[in-house]
Amino acid sequence: MLKGFSVPLTPEGKSALAALPPWHYSSDCIAIEYWADPVAIAALLPPGLAPDEQSGGRAFFWFLDWQFTASNDEITDPARYQYHEAFALVEAVFDGKPVNYCPFIFVDNDAALARGWAQGFPKKQASVYQTRSFSAPSPAAAPLAKGSRFGASVAAHGERLATARIQLEERIADPSTVFNRPTTMRRFFPQLAAGLRQKPPVDELTMSLTDNLAIVDVWAGSAELRIPEVQGEEMHRIAPVRVGRGYRLGMAYSVTDLRILRNYAV
Amino acid sequence: MLKGFSVPLTPEGKSALAALPPWHYSSDCIAIEYWADPVAIAALLPPGLAPDEQSGGRAFFWFLDWQFTASNDEITDPARYQYHEAFALVEAVFDGKPVNYCPFIFVDNDAALARGWAQGFPKKQASVYQTRSFSAPSPAAAPLAKGSRFGASVAAHGERLATARIQLEERIADPSTVFNRPTTMRRFFPQLAAGLRQKPPVDELTMSLTDNLAIVDVWAGSAELRIPEVQGEEMHRIAPVRVGRGYRLGMAYSVTDLRILRNYAV
Amino acid sequence: MLKGFSVPLTPEGKSALAALPPWHYSSDCIAIEYWADPVAIAALLPPGLAPDEQSGGRAFFWFLDWQFTASNDEITDPARYQYHEAFALVEAVFDGKPVNYCPFIFVDNDAALARGWAQGFPKKQASVYQTRSFSAPSPAAAPLAKGSRFGASVAAHGERLATARIQLEERIADPSTVFNRPTTMRRFFPQLAAGLRQKPPVDELTMSLTDNLAIVDVWAGSAELRIPEVQGEEMHRIAPVRVGRGYRLGMAYSVTDLRILRNYAV
Amino acid sequence: MLKGFSVPLTPEGKSALAALPPWHYSSDCIAIEYWADPVAIAALLPPGLAPDEQSGGRAFFWFLDWQFTASNDEITDPARYQYHEAFALVEAVFDGKPVNYCPFIFVDNDAALARGWAQGFPKKQASVYQTRSFSAPSPAAAPLAKGSRFGASVAAHGERLATARIQLEERIADPSTVFNRPTTMRRFFPQLAAGLRQKPPVDELTMSLTDNLAIVDVWAGSAELRIPEVQGEEMHRIAPVRVGRGYRLGMAYSVTDLRILRNYAV
């Protein structure tokens, strides 16, 4: 009997890119609130999601330094399981309720890519960086304090896909006023067999489920964000028309389940 | 209507990791014939494949420098589409016929990973290198000539997974005497939704179909191969018990289709 | 007039790998106390340094996540200036006083390599990782608390050069009891011109000078450390014979100067 | 006695980034002839080099896939010694004779960086790619033939520094009509000790010496080249005003010596 949540399947399941859930995550995050062209957002939404008329094109661009562990001591193997991520979340409506939808996401780790695909996150490989906050005082420390500045960037194949900068102004007591929508994705796996290509075996609208969500140390401030046009990418379609506030926060959660909202394949 | 063979789906289909077939490939390859423990090979085979009693544990370990193009001038964007690959092929029998099966495969490119998963290749990310043959004469040129030596290696997360060396002895006139089995894979996509995890939506035995296969400039010689035990990998299960000949060759083909031999999911 | 602390020199000095000092650094560090073969340590010391008979082969192996800034807002460009480092410090005596000497050091950033060479650190390129401590609570967070476990590793060219793990036991009130020796290096730049190769233009014993040194949040606990033999490296010469305690700390300092202890070139 | 052409020095000299010469190289190259602003070129030249009035701003931008070996079987360790390079050569005059000067150069390998600095090449780390020519026929093969197209790019820190494309038109019988100037560099090593910073210990004008130079399989055709402005780089100063022909060739040589044309440090 071969084992593994994902490929490759092996007798002990050690080679699998993704171990069995629960998957535990903790991160430092930079998130930039911005507004894109609402028509461009609408053009990216899968069936069943409608533009959020209240949002007027509101979106968030996130950068995350992640630490991951499952149940096999992954936390002490950072070369394999620590990673960086960047993604866009656009605001939409599902079944009358406000949600986020993730059209673009990038990671620098294949295990994160495999877990993400299983959820519906359309992950691609990229290099992602964000300024970190260190405890030893220095002009290089970027403490969580008024005036501190952070930069972040994502690039793939030697092309810069997004660049952000924020400057902290104030601590946010209640992050639920900012981050309160569930995230939806399109889970998709293609069909290569000729004649069946129009019938992908997996094509679903899904919702991310997070256990033990913790959002801590939230700061807000001014922000800059650029999403340039790059050959072979369409993310610039939702480039910022206007930029709002920037946030720097800690976030943790666990994943053990996935909600399937709609199955397009049947 | 959103487009793309793979995620992410977008209005123009430019962001997708994998473009629509046909996919065209040309490569330089180093392949090491070797014998592993037949019991270890049998333990990696999916249902429907039987050990090849004639093979006595025969396998090949391949290193490939690939150039890829689809129909969008990908050949002139090497930062995005050129890549390196390493994999093991073990000999087996399907329906009475000799085949190869691919239990482990590594690439350094996410587009190659996405195309591979769609075929059933259980690709993970790694760094892969092989000595190249250059035309300008030098002790550094490694020409295709008797006595030339080539090295190759694959590593992931800072751990060396396999190391090979070959020394060319003679040109092989008819490569079909060496490379003549079709390759089978297990195409698999997991289910994360709780309660459904035992029912992956995609779980098939597939066979790679190649159009316009060309194998050129085949040389054979002596070979060394090591596949050490590494934490978090099970490839050492099929480490060499005995090493045969080493080969250096060019190979090209196109992919437009996939044969599904068996569907485990129904 | 061309500008730049290091190459390349340009009209505005923006291309230079290293900007003019002061250089400001803040880091998270994992340090493993261990004992190597005293004869192997002695064989690595440059002229003017003697083995420390009191040390009995004592050494520290460090892993550092660094953030760097000079005076040009480098802190908001983490893709260019954030980096990871690993090095060995062996205990020695200079002029009757206890010092550390750095025989091996690895970074993943070319600006850090250029600054390091200017000081005398014999930096090479590698991939370096350490478990991080995140503020959002989770099994993935690795808080600074009793029982937390951290891993760290350094690898180059697909070969693992060192792997460490520590488990925190107690907070250390006074780090000066542990970290109190200045660090010495051999600053060296070679001569390629034939006939002059035995006369390198730069060959000095130097001492690192740090302004505003801060060591914070020091925890100690149990430790493991492995430094395997790898082709093309000699660091295994000082592999651990015995491993002491592991430390996790924050450290910051600035660099504006260098002390030249001895000039071998004259 | 510690050994090594470069740091780190060790008892056997195996850890040194650069082994003792001779250094043997073979490569596949793409070179783009272009013209930059002559004033910008003049502003990059070190003392002793004058603008070449005949050239009118002529320059070449090169991309090179290199294989390296010294005397320790480096050719069979491609993970450590194979690398990619990109550089600009601008035309100038030294002592009345036409030369090239190298103001900007990028590699993806630390051993190449160390050898380059010893010669005077101001190397920085980058990712460099070029379309390769494979022998197995395919739309992905890019043969050396009329109509074949090649792309090339160099990027650092997630910013694209240069992008080129060429299309082959004709074979060049005599490459000496194109590539016939020796290359000069500024060899420089900085001084960090306060008060001495204006007196770098190494500051020379040097000339690259190559033994057994071979230039083979030279094709020429049409070309495109872009060198965009990027934060933290000044290479765009010599961006193309006009682009000439593109070349694709093989080149090999050995290095055992260096000519020092002028010593600025005395």
Query: What is the pLDDT tens value at each position of chain D, 266 positions in all?
Result: 899 999 999 999 999 999 999 999 999 999 999 999 999 999 999 999 999 999 999 999 999 999 999 999 999 999 999 999 999 999 999 999 999 999 999 999 999 999 999 999 999 999 999 999 999 999 999 999 999 999 999 999 999 999 999 999 999 999 888 889 999 999 999 999 999 988 999 999 999 999 999 999 999 999 999 999 999 999 999 999 999 999 999 999 999 999 999 999 87
Which residue do the tokens 């004033």 mark? D39
> Is A86 within 8 Å of A31 (Cβ atoms)?
no
As a whole number of Å, the end-to-end CA separation of chain B is: 30
Tell me what pLDDT residue B119 has.
98
Mean pLDDT, chain A, rounded, equals 97
Q: How far apart are CA D8 and CA B263, in angstroms?
A: 57
> Is A59 within 8 Å of A91 (Cβ atoms)?
yes
Rounded-to-5 percentages of helix, strand, coil across chain D: 10, 50, 40
Tell me what pLDDT residue A201 has.
97
Whether the per-residue pLDDT at C202 is higher than 80: the answer is: yes
Q: Is C74 helix (H, G, I), strand (E, B) or coil?
A: helix
- C160 and chain B in contact, CB less than 8 A: yes
> Is A174 within 8 Å of A247 (Cβ atoms)?
no
Residue A68: half-sphere exposure toward Cβ, Cα within 13 Å = 25
Chain D residues near residue C237 by CB distance under 8 angstroms:
10-11
Mean pLDDT, chain C, rounded, equals 97
Which residue do the tokens 């807000």 mark? A220
DSSP A15: S
- A129 and chain C in contact, CB less than 8 A: yes
Quote the crossing angle between the two packed helices D110-119 and C110-119, to the nearest 10°: 50
Structure tokens at D102: 């190298």
How many angstroms separate the CA of residue C126 from the nearest CA in chain B? 9
Chain D, 36 to 65: residues with Cβ < 8 Å from chain C are: 43-44, 46
Q: Which ranges in chain B belong to alpha helices (H)?
A: 38-44, 78-81, 110-119
Q: What angle do CA B87, B90, B92 make, to 5 degrees?
A: 145
| DSSP per-residue letters across A113-127 | HHHHHHHT--EEE-E
Nearest to C60 by CA among C245, C250, C249: C245
Cβ of D11 within 8 Å of Cβ of C157? The answer is no
Q: How far apart are CA D145 and CA D126, in angstroms?
A: 30
Whether the per-residue pLDDT at A177 is higher than 90: the answer is: no
Q: Which of A11, A232, A260 sits opposite B77 (nearest CB)?
A: A232
Whether the per-residue pLDDT at A1 is higher than 90: the answer is: no
Q: How far apart are CA A262 and CA A266, in angstroms?
A: 10
Q: How confident is the model at residue A175 (pLDDT cuts 50, 70, 90)?
A: confident
Nearest to A256 by CA among B30, B99, C230, C139: C139
Whether the per-residue pLDDT at C133 is higher than 90: the answer is: yes
Nearest to D132 by CA among C198, C67, A168, B69: B69
How many angstroms separate the CA of residue D158 from the nearest CA in chain A? 5
Q: How far apart are CA B246 and CA B12, in angstroms?
A: 45
- A227 and chain B in contact, CB less than 8 A: no
Q: How confident is the model at residue A266 (pLDDT cuts 50, 70, 90)?
A: confident
Taken as a whole, chain A contains a residue count of 266
Nearest to A80 by CA among D197, C127, D1: C127
Tell me what pLDDT residue D179 has.
87
Nearest to A113 by CA among A71, A147, A83: A83
DSSP D156: E
More confident residue, B198 or A118: A118
Whether the per-residue pLDDT at C90 is higher than 90: the answer is: yes
User: What is the mean pLDDT of the segment spanning C116-128?
Assistant: 98
Q: How far apart are CA C87 and CA C162, in angstroms?
A: 10
Q: Which of A244-253, B31-40, C173-182, D12-21 has the lowest mean pLDDT?
A: C173-182
- C10 and chain D in contact, CB less than 8 A: yes
- Using alpha carbons, list the distances in angstroms from residue C61 to A167, C90, C224, C225, D203: 36, 9, 11, 8, 35
Chain D residues near residue C78 by CB distance under 8 angstroms:
none
Q: Which chains touch D (3 or more CB pairs under 8 A)?
A: A, B, C
Mean pLDDT, chain B, rounded, equals 97
Residue A78: half-sphere exposure toward Cβ, Cα within 13 Å = 28
Which residue do the tokens 């195309």 mark? B115
- D162 and chain A in contact, CB less than 8 A: no
Which residue do the tokens 């606990």 mark? C221
Q: Around Cβ C39, how many Cβ atoms within 10 Å?
A: 10
For residues C48, C53, C54 and C57, what is the CA-based torsion angle, rounded to 10 degrees?
A: 90
Q: What are the tens digits of pLDDT across the range A34-60?
A: 999 999 999 999 999 999 999 999 999
Positive/negative CA dihedral, C7, C8, C13, C16: negative
DSSP D41: H
Tell me what pLDDT residue D134 has.
98
Position C70, amino acid: A
- Using alpha carbons, list the distances in angstroms from residue C126 to A72, B151, B205, C107: 26, 21, 40, 6
Q: Is D39 helix (H, G, I), strand (E, B) or coil?
A: helix
Claim: this prediction has a pTM higher than 0.95 = yes
> Is D222 within 8 Å of D169 (Cβ atoms)?
yes
> Is C74 within 8 Å of C80 (Cβ atoms)?
yes
Burial A126-157 (b: 16+ CB within 10 A, else e): bbbbbbbbbbbebbbbbebeeebbbbbbbbbb
DSSP A74: G
Backbone angles phi, psi at C18, to 5 degrees: -115, 125
- D217 and chain B in contact, CB less than 8 A: yes
Q: How far apart are CA C261 and CA C185, in angstroms?
A: 10
Position B35, amino acid: W
User: What is the mean pLDDT of the segment spanning C60-82?
Assistant: 97
% pLDDT > 70, chain A: 100
The ipTM estimated for the assembled molecules is 0.96
Whether the per-residue pLDDT at C265 is higher than 90: the answer is: no
DSSP D43: H
Interface-testing mutation among C9, C87, C192, with chain D (most D C-beta atoms within 10 A) = C192
Chain D residues near residue B25 by CB distance under 8 angstroms:
138, 140
Which residue do the tokens 């939230």 mark? A218
Chain B residues near residue C155 by CB distance under 8 angstroms:
155, 157-159
Q: What are the tens digits of pLDDT across the range C141-158?
A: 999 999 999 999 999 999
Q: Around Cβ C170, how many Cβ atoms within 10 Å?
A: 11
Cβ of B110 within 8 Å of Cβ of A125? The answer is yes
Q: What are the tens digits of pLDDT across the range C101-116?
A: 999 999 999 999 999 9
Q: Is A77 helix (H, G, I), strand (E, B) or coil?
A: coil
How many angstroms separate the CA of residue C250 from the nearest CA in chain B? 25
Q: Which of A136, A152, A250 sits opposite C134 (nearest CB)?
A: A250
Q: How far apart are CA C120 and CA C124, in angstroms?
A: 12
Whether the per-residue pLDDT at B266 is higher than 80: the answer is: no
